[in-house]
Each structure stands twice: as C-alpha cells, then as structure tokens.
Amino acid sequence: MIPSGIFTTRSEEETFQLGRDLARGFQGSETVLLVGDLGAGKTVFAKGIAAGLEIDEESGVCSPTYTLINIHQGRCSLYHIDLYRLEGAEEIADLGWEDFIGRAVVVVEWAEKLPFPIEGIRVAIEVEEGDTRRISISA
Ligand code: ADP
Ligand code: MG
C-alpha cells in the first residue's frame, strides 16, 4: 500500500522509516521522483526505500552524486539516480531511462531537473524548523 499524503518527520530515522514503509509495498517497477533542497533528506529517504526492498545495508546506499547511477539488488533491483551534477537536458536524456524505467525500482534525486515528464510517485521534502521535515507523497 502506498501511503499517499502529507507526513511530518522529526528525525533522520523517521524519514528513513517512511521510505521503508513506502517501498515495502513495491512490486519492482515503481519510479520515485524525489524533490527537495540540498540536505532536505532525499538520500535518507532513498536509503529507507532500499531497506524496504531488502537491500543489505553493506551494499552502501549513499548519495550517487558522483557516480550518477547506483544499482543495488534486493528482492528487486533498485536504480538510484542523482541529477544534481547534470547540467544540460541532453546529459540527463542520455542516461538510458528507457532501459530501466518500469523494469526496476527507480529513485531519482533532484527530479525537478528532469527535462521531460516521467510518471511516478512524487515525494517532495521540505525543511521546516530544525530536524522537522514536511514530506508530501503523491502517487
Ligand atoms: P539530500 O539527499 O536531500 O541532499 P541527505 O539525505 O543527504 O539530503 O541529508 C539530510 C540531512 O538532514 C542528514 O544529515 C540528516 O541527518 C539530516 N536530517 C535532520 N532531520 C532529518 C529528517 N527529519 N529527515 C531526514 N534527514 C534529516
Ligand atoms: Mg542526496
């Protein structure tokens, strides 16, 4: 079950758990579009998704900022993508989306940079006071 709605988390752990709970219901072909500023908690949420897919913690889900795409294997495959460093629309288009969208769980950080629409579950994280985050999930 995808818990669509608006959630408030008050720690990194709570954001992780929200991502994990979301992904526990995944079949293996979902796309998650993560939107939010630097330090909002996108990577924390992505780590939760990995946990929900039963990806070992040793597999080291981290920010793929330098590698662009990290692939992990759990009960299904996870493609973890970060568009932060990509400049042009062309560079983003060249990632080979058609090879994995709909064929694996795909998590995109900085999805607002996508130059073309991709259907998916949109997760927007906003920083509030201190460690509080407002997370809106819409399928
Ligand atoms: P992003 O990938 O969006 O740039 P990260 O997930 O790498 O952000 O980092 C989020 C940072 O914010 C971490 O240092 C984390 O400990 C901190 N943090 C504090 N409160 C929260 C929260 N409620 N949810 C997620 N991260 C939080
Ligand atoms: Mg990140």
Considering every ligand atom shown, identify the ligand nearest to the alpha carbon of residue 82 and give its number: 2
Considering every ligand atom shown, identify the ligand nearest to the alpha carbon of residue 70 and give its number: 2
pLDDT tens for 127-136 read 999 999 999 9
pLDDT tops 90 at residue 97: yes
pLDDT tens for 103-123 read 999 999 999 999 999 999 999
CATH number attached to the domain at 5-138: 3.40.50.300
pLDDT at position 1 is 62
pLDDT tens for 32-66 read 999 999 999 999 999 999 999 999 877 777 776 66
What is the full DSSP assignment across the chain?
----EEEEE-SHHHHHHHHHHHHHT--S--EEEEE--TTSSHHHHHHHHHHHTT--GGG-----TTTSEEEEESSSEEEEEE-TT--SHHHHHTT-HHHHBTTBEEEEETGGG-SS---SEEEEEEE-STT-EEEEEE-
Q: How far away, in angstroms, is 96 Cα from ligand 2 center?
A: 21
Q: How far away, in angstroms, is 36 Cα from ligand 1 center?
A: 11
Q: What is the mean pLDDT of the chain?
A: 93
- Where do the structural domains in the chain lie, given as residue ranges? 5-138
Which atom, in ligand 1's list, is nearest to the CA of 37?
3
